[in-house]
Each structure stands twice: as C-alpha cells, then as structure tokens.
Amino acid sequence: MPAKLQLSFSNAVPKGNVTTICLIGQNGEIISHLEKDVAAHLIGVMATAQFTGKFGKSLLIYNDKNSYLLVGTGDNLTAGIEAEKLGGKVFLALSQTASKSGWLPDHKLDEIILADFCLGANLASYYFDSYFTEKDKDKDKVTVHLCMGSKELDAKSTVLTDRQALADGVFLARDLVFEPANKLYPVEFANRCLALARLGLEVEILDEADMERLGMGALLGVGQGSRRESRMVVMNWRGGEDEAPFALVGKGVTFDTGGISLKPAKGMEDMKWDMGGAAAVAGAMCAIAGRKLDKNIVGVIGLVENMPDGNAQRPGDVVTAMSGKTIEVINTDAEGRLVLADALHYTETRFLPQAMVNLATLTGAIIGALGKEYGGLFTNSDDLGSQLESAGKETAEGVWRMPMGPSYDRMLKSHIADMKNIGGPYGGAITAACFLARFVKSTPWAHLDIAGKAWSDSATDIVPKGGTGYGVRMLNRLIDNWQGASLSEKGQQSDD
C-alpha cells in the first residue's frame, strides 16, 4: 500500500500554498529558525492563546496570506518513539489543512531525531484503500518539505533509508492483516512472500505434499477442511557470517471459523486477521532485508485456513506432529497452536537457531488478562525475555511477561494421547504457551500472544484503526540489540 506522505529535501522555500511548520519547545521556545518579525508575531499569538509548547499540541494560525502550524515538542525532544509520535502528530495536523503541504524551516533537530520524525509521519500516513471504488479526497497525499540547512541528510541518507525500510515492513504487515480472506488465502499469502525475493531474501515454499513427507500432521490437520491448500513459507536472510540464525516463526490462519467447533457468527468477520503473527514475521523479514542487516535471520510461517466441511478435523481426533508427539484435538478452534507445533519443531531441527521468537493471535484469554495494551510474553529464557521487554518499550510495542510452569502444563494431560490441545477452563493463554513449549527442545524461545495487538479498534498517533503491523519494529529492534541468551531453568516445562 503506497504511503500518503511525500517528503522533499531542500534549503529553498517551496512555492505555492504551503503551511510553515514551527516547532515550539517547552515554555514557548521557537526551535525552528524564522525571520524576526514572524517569530515576534508567533510569540504574541502563543501568549494570547496560552500555547506553551506542550508535547503534541498544535495550533494553526494565519499571518497575512501565510499559514503557520505550531507544534509543541515539550522539553528536550528525544530520538525514538517520542520523535516518531511528533512526526505522526504533524502529519495528522497537516492532513486537516487546506494546503495539505507543510514546510519545516531550518531547525535544531539532529539527524536521528529528524529521521525518527519522518518515520512517525510516514507510519501515520498509512491508509488501506484497495477496495474503495471512489477514493476519499480527505486521504490525499500530504507533502512535507524539509529544510536541511547544513545537515547532511537527504532522501538517500542511511538513517532515512533505514527508517523507510522499517515503514515498508510495517506497511506490508498492515496490508496483509487488512486483506479479506477471499483475497488472501494460504497460496496467495505465500506468493506475496515470494515477491520479497526482490530484496535478496531466499524464499522457499513448502506445499502440502512436502509437509506430508515431513510428517506435519498437526498443521495439515487444521487445513484439511478447507478447499484452500495449506502452505509453509521459509524466508532466509543471510547477512552475517557463518553463524546460527535468529529465527522468527508466525501463525498464519488466513481465516478461522473455528472449524467443527464453530465460532459464534457475531464478530467472525474479524477472523481474517488471525494471520497477524505470520504478517508480523513477513513484515519483519521485509524490513530486515530492506535494511541489509549484517546478521542471519530466518522467518518461517505456517499458512492454513480453518473451515468446517465434511473433511474437517473433528473434536476427539488424534494427530501426529512432525516431532512424533501425538495430540488429542479437544477443540478445533484451538488450531493455531497445532500450526505452530510443526512450524517450531521444523525451524529448530532444520536451522538450529540461536534463539526463536514466535508470534500468534493465539488466544482470547490473553485479551482477558492484558486487555489490548500489551502482547503476552511467555519464554523459557530470562535473557531473551528481558531483551524482548526492552525492545518493546523502545518501539512502543509493549509485552508483558506471563507465568508458565508444571502446574499449568499438567492441564494438557490426555487419556489417549501425549497431550490435549487445550487445558482447563482457566489460564487459557498460559496452557496454550505450555503446549507450544513441548515442541521446543533446547533453544532459547519466546512466544508472543498478540491477539490483542494485531488489530486496533481506534487509531493512535502512528498506528491506524485496523491492522497495526505490531511486532515488526519490535523484532527489528530486538535483533539490532541482540546479545545472545542462555536457556533459563525457570521457564522449562514438564512433559508429564
């Protein structure tokens, strides 16, 4: 989906109807460089309007034929999420002006803050309009002209191209989540991943025959009720030396009816975004390749559609996962963990990764526990967990560590197979994580339950209503800062 933001770089004042963007620090300090008479006029208006430069607050004023958008930066604007949010606020304010064009004069921002400002404006500009036959005129492209002064920053600057690659990954993830299930089904999703080979990714697609030969009975059992064939996609980025890769694994249920354990009709249309974990992995791999990271990363996604036809998996069926473990399917709506069971085992045994992180819109229970403020974090490694928490804070894609342990794991005990696919009526997000842990042998691993984060009911400064792209920037930050991890004994699960 093309962004609705256009950036231009110049030291010349742009022609035409352009609003001047004035950055105002705490207590009314004008950060942008302006002519003295203009600055004096703005100071007077700010005093009258009691505009103090509080972060994110804006004020549109006019002076003769010129317009000025005053935007507060607060005290000591910093790089990262604060600068991104400021960029988002400026974009949104400009989009409400008649000109839809803004001019940021020379200023006191360093290149990192400015690059993050641009990233935030870019993220705020996202709008999914693929299926409107009449385009919304209020969603026209907004132009921001940046005066660089003496700063060596332009459209080809490394920091800006890095931020653009991140935005591209987020936009891909959002696009995938927004797409309806009749347009985005497993084979089509796989084809869109295949297109990422243009960035230098090695993309491999496993069809149903390939997965059957590998013994992926858990994943294939989920998709057997659909006329849409299942797929597994492997995306490999070889940017580092001869070292084990960092692995990302995603659940990709392109539509989830619940199968024979049919969901209620109300809200079922939302189940098109039950592939949010796979979308995050695809977006993260897009950004990683676009940024040309000097590390080895592999992304694996399992793609299925969960439908209730005459060949569908039944409650009470027993399937055999690739690991050889047997699973009694108590509820066919607990299908994502079956997909991930084979995807995790396949990733660990084939690639021997130094660490694995899987993402999945796995349970409604995590929303009951955390609302829509955090993704649920479950891990067998304290080191990996703490690094994920830090990456989440730095990118405003927060995670909250949840407990695991043998008492929860025992709830999965089956009387006819190695395990059931659900536990008891309580702690559903935790028992789901314990189920996944049974398919990880010795690798530092984290499971992110993002059921409350892949889709948003309301917009924020840089995240639209709808598909959020949650996880793309957090995963990139995690990999940027990765220090390795040791396997913690605290998170280990019993197979009893």
- Say if residues 116 and 461 touch (Cβ distance below 8 Å): no
Q: Tokens 């705490």, residue?
A: 26
Cβ-in-10-Å burial (0-12, 13-18, 19+) of 309 comes to: exposed
DSSP state of 8: E
337 included as an active-site residue: yes
Judge whether 88 and 7 are in contact, CB under 8 Å. Answer: no
Q: Which of 85, 231, 251, 337 is catalytic?
A: 337
Detail the DSSP E strand segments found in 207-295.
231-238, 246-256
Closest CA to 361 of 283, 269, 455: 455
* Number of alpha carbons in the 13 Å side-chain half-sphere of residue 81: 14
* Structure tokens given for 161: 């191209």
Tokens of 334: 């607990």
Helices (H), 235-335: 276-291
CA atoms in the 13 A half-sphere facing the CB of 458: 3
Measured CA angle at 386 (ends 444, 347), to 5 deg: 25
H or E element in which residue 179 lies: none
Which of helix, strand or coil describes residue 55? coil
Which residue in 213, 210, 356, 233 sits closest to 304, CA to CA? 233
Euclidean distance between CA atoms 474 and 3, whole angstroms: 21
Q: Which of 322, 287, 301 is nearest to 480 (CA)?
A: 287
Would you give the DSSP letter of residue 242? S
Q: Are 127 and 464 in contact (CB under 8 A)?
A: yes
Lookup: tokens for 493: 């699960």
Catalytic residue among 263, 325, 393, 410: 263
CB 248 within 8 A of CB 298: yes
Tell me, yes or no, if 183 is annotated catalytic. Answer: no
Phi, psi (rounded to 5 degrees) for 314: -110, 150
Could you tell me which of 379, 302, 375 has the C-alpha nearest to residue 344? Answer: 302
Residues assigned a catalytic role: 263, 337
